Amino acid sequence: MSSPPFRSSPTLLDHLLGAADEALRTLAGAVTAARPTPASDRSVPVSASDRRHAAGLMRVNHTGEICAQALYSGQALVARDGRVRSALQSAAGEERDHLAWCRRRLTELDSRPSLLDPLWYAGSFAWGVTSGLAGDKWSLGFLAETEAQVERHLEGHLDQLPADDDASRAIVEKMREDEVRHGSTGRALGAAELPYPVKRAMQAASRVMTRTAYWV
């Protein structure tokens, strides 16, 4: 009878290599959605200026999803509790869908992702690791606050999207629904309320991101 193959548990190096692989796939657009896009067709706004505006908004949303991937990846890397890590990984799976839906929509709108995405990935990954190192309750607090801010931001986009862009609207609506659930999961797992200056710093960073990604 042969003995079972020897299996060692993953080392820090394995986790780091996994995180680097994830970063490269995310930035290269080599991410496939597990769920079909909520958009029922690929039609685009009739007017050229509306198409440009929709592309700017969807580029901002795509960059937001790049940040979400990086944040969850950084947090999962240092999460202490297995339940927290698996909640982060399952939310990251849904964020991958968002990322792929936004990227496809950008192509349909004859546009492209932001050139600054690698910078945003690096910054968000660092925030994820830092909040994770502070402890799971802070990491979850950071997640819950991020999702709350993203929810408000997506609501704004639903108002701003051109009236005849049903496809982008369907994607943003589904993303908002998922983000609300991610926030509730974080709170249910024991998220701490972040100090006000941290919330303000997060809002300021997200303002810089949304204003630059719309154009660049």
| CA 84 from centroid of its chain's CA atoms | 17
Task: Report the alpha-carbon distance of residue 6 to residue 13 in Å, rounded.
Answer: 19
Query: Which residue in 53, 59, 96, 98 binds Fe ion (CB under 5 A)?
Result: 98
Looking from the CA of 144 toward its CB, the CA atoms found within 13 Å total 19
Query: What DSSP designation does 38 have?
Result: S
How far apart are alpha carbons 21 and 17 in whole angstroms? 6
Site membership for Fe ion, residue 145 (CB under 5 A)? no
Q: Are 98 and 38 in contact (CB under 8 A)?
A: no
Residue with tokens 């009878």: 1
Q: How far is the CB of 33 from Fe ion (least distance, A)?
A: 12
Q: In a 10 Å sphere around its CB, with 0-12 CB exposed, 13-18 middle and 19+ buried, how is residue 116 labelled?
A: middle
- The only residue of 53, 85, 95, 194 in contact with Fe ion, by rule CB under 5 A: 95
**Candidates 4-12, 23-31, 60-68, 157-165; binding stretch for Fe ion (CB under 5 A):** 60-68
Least Cα distance to 58 among 117, 99, 118 occurs for 99
CB of 118 to Fe ion, least distance (A): 19
Q: Which of 109, 182, 210, 213 binds Fe ion (CB under 5 A)?
A: 182
Using CB under 5 A as the binding rule, whether residue 97 contacts Fe ion is answered as: no
How long a stretch of residues is the chain?
216
How far is the CA of 118 from the CAs of 48, 79, 123, in angstroms? 29, 23, 9
The least distance separating Fe ion from the CB of residue 65, rounded to whole angstroms, comes to: 5
Q: Determine, following the binding rule CB under 5 A, whether residue 103 of this chain makes contact with Fe ion.
A: no
The nearer residue to Fe ion, 43 or 184, going by C-beta atoms, is: 184
Contact between 179 and Fe ion per CB under 5 A: yes
Nearest residue (CB) to Fe ion, 104 versus 182? 182
CB of 176 to Fe ion, least distance (A): 9
By CB under 5 A, the residues from 16 to 55 that bind Fe ion are none
Taking contact as CB under 5 A, which single stretch among the options 116-124, 133-141, 158-166, 172-180 is the one that binds Fe ion?
Answer: 172-180
CB of 98 to Fe ion, least distance (A): 4
